[in-house]
């Protein structure tokens, strides 16, 4: 009978246990599955984005058809972080002029459907709307509702792919799979820079697993010495040739918003 190796004996196991315990975090890191590593990257990225409490931003959307003709929308977006749930947000439309004063109030949830109310200023009507429309275009743009809503970690499962240099920046490349069956995507491939975990690029794959769109985020600016926001987000639809550019301006943080700034009463005085 072959003799057992020395390290498999009972004593040796105990002797080795404590040093091993100290090495555990490192060992775990290297033994991490691609799924775990993908989730860890997404969690870290989300962690770095949260904690600003509230913000208000101005957004210009430039919609481009395949002939290069442009049309423009102006909106303002207010956000309130909610502990242990998705964000509350209020989107106010300033242009086109015929929809000026229209406002959309959303209570995002991590796994359930969001709660949404739309305010129609011409008849002063507040309408609770179905939020099942994840994959539909937001204001006729190349951004779907699900691209615009708050990117909770729980909304996807993940897989780490590789490291890659994107335009001179070291990036993690991860795949994420929407948890919601109503999503218009089978998967998204996301590039996050290794230094600050900022989203740099996303490839979106449609329900037939074909490449549909690419999002590129540019000119990240830092606010409150912590939070990075891109100035420009460019979405290109490879299947239709259409595109949408988002230009963000005037981010303001720490406005002291409360739930009252995100209720049905506030919707009616959002302008």
Partner 1 sequence: MVDAHRKRSRGGWWLVLAFVIGATAQAAEWSGYIAGETRLFPSPPRDDTQHEENLSLSFQAEFYHEWEERRESVLFVPFLRLDQHDAERTHADVRELYWQKSAEEWELRLGIRKVYWGVTESQHLVDIINQTDMVENLDAEDKLGQLMLNYAWVQDWGTLDFFLLPGCRERPMPGREGRLRAPYPIEFDDAEYESGAAEWHTDWAIRWSRFIGQWDLGLSHFSGTSREPRLLPRIRDGHIRLIPYYDQINQTGLDVQWTHGSWLWKLETIHRSGQKRTYTALTAGLEYTLYGIFESNIDMGLIFEYLYDSRGDEASTPFENDLFFGTRFSFNDVQTTNILAGAIVDGDSGAVIFGLEAQRRLGQAWKLSVESRIFAGIPPSDVGNYFRKDDLIQIELAWYF
List of residues contacting partner 1 (CB under 8 A): 63, 65, 71-72, 95-101, 113, 115, 123-130, 132-133, 135-137, 139-140, 182, 184, 258, 260, 263-266, 269, 271
| Least CB distance to partner 1 at residue 153 (A) | 23
- 264 Cβ neighbours under 8 A, 6+ residues apart: 105, 117, 126
- Residue nearer to partner 1 on the CB measure, 94 or 231: 94
| Least CB distance to partner 1 at residue 103 (A) | 13
- Residue nearer to partner 1 on the CB measure, 139 or 190: 139
- Residue nearer to partner 1 on the CB measure, 77 or 126: 126
Q: Tell me, letter by letter, the H, E, C secondary structure of the chain.
A: CCCCCHHHCHHHHHHHHHHHHHHHHHHHHHHCCHHHHHHHHHHHHHHHHCCCCEEEEEEEEEEECCCCCEEEEEEEEEEECCCCCCCEEEEEEEECHHHCCCEEEEECCCCCCCEEEEEECCCCEEEEECCCCCCCECCCCCCEHHHHCCCCHHHEEEEEEEEEEECCEEEEEEEEEECCCCCCEEEEEEEEECCCCCEEEEEEEECCCCEEEEEEEEEEEEECCCEEEEEEEEEEECCCCCEEEEEEEEEEECCCCCHHHHCHHHHHCCC
| Least CB distance to partner 1 at residue 96 (A) | 6
- Residue nearer to partner 1 on the CB measure, 86 or 230: 86
- Residue nearer to partner 1 on the CB measure, 222 or 240: 240
| Least CB distance to partner 1 at residue 140 (A) | 4
| Least CB distance to partner 1 at residue 167 (A) | 30
| Least CB distance to partner 1 at residue 243 (A) | 12
- Residue nearer to partner 1 on the CB measure, 1 or 130: 130
**What six digits make up the tokens of 203?**
């490839």
């Amino acid at each position: 009978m072959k003799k057992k190796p020395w390290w498999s004996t009972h004593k040796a196991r105990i002797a080795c246990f404590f040093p091993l315990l100290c090495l555990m975090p490192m060992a775990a890191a290297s033994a991490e599955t691609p799924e775990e590593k993908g989730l860890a990257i997404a969690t870290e990225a989300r962690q770095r984005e949260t904690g600003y409490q509230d913000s208000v931003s101005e957004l210009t959307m430039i919609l481009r058809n395949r002939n290069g003709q442009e049309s423009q929308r102006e909106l303002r977006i207010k956000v309130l972080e909610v502990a242990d749930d998705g964000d509350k947000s209020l989107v106010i439309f300033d242009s086109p002029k015929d929809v000026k004063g229209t406002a959309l109030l959303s209570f995002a949830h991590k796994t359930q459907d969001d709660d949404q109310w739309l305010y129609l200023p011409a008849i002063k009507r507040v309408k609770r709307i179905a939020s099942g429309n994840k994959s539909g275009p937001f204001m006729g743009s190349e951004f779907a509702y699900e691209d615009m809503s708050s990117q909770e970690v729980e909304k996807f499962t993940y897989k780490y792919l590789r490291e890659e240099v994107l335009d001179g920046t070291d990036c993690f490349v991860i795949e994420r799979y929407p948890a919601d069956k109503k999503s218009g995507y089978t998967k998204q491939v996301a590039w996050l820079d290794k230094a600050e975990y900022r989203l740099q690029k996303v490839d979106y794959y449609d329900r037939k697993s074909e490449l549909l769109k690419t999002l590129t985020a540019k000119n990240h600016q830092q606010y409150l010495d912590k939070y990075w926001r891109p100035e420009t987000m460019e979405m290109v639809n490879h299947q239709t040739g259409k595109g949408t550019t988002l230009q963000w301006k005037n981010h303001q943080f720490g406005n002291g918003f409360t739930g009252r700034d995100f209720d049905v009463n506030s919707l009616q005085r959002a302008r």
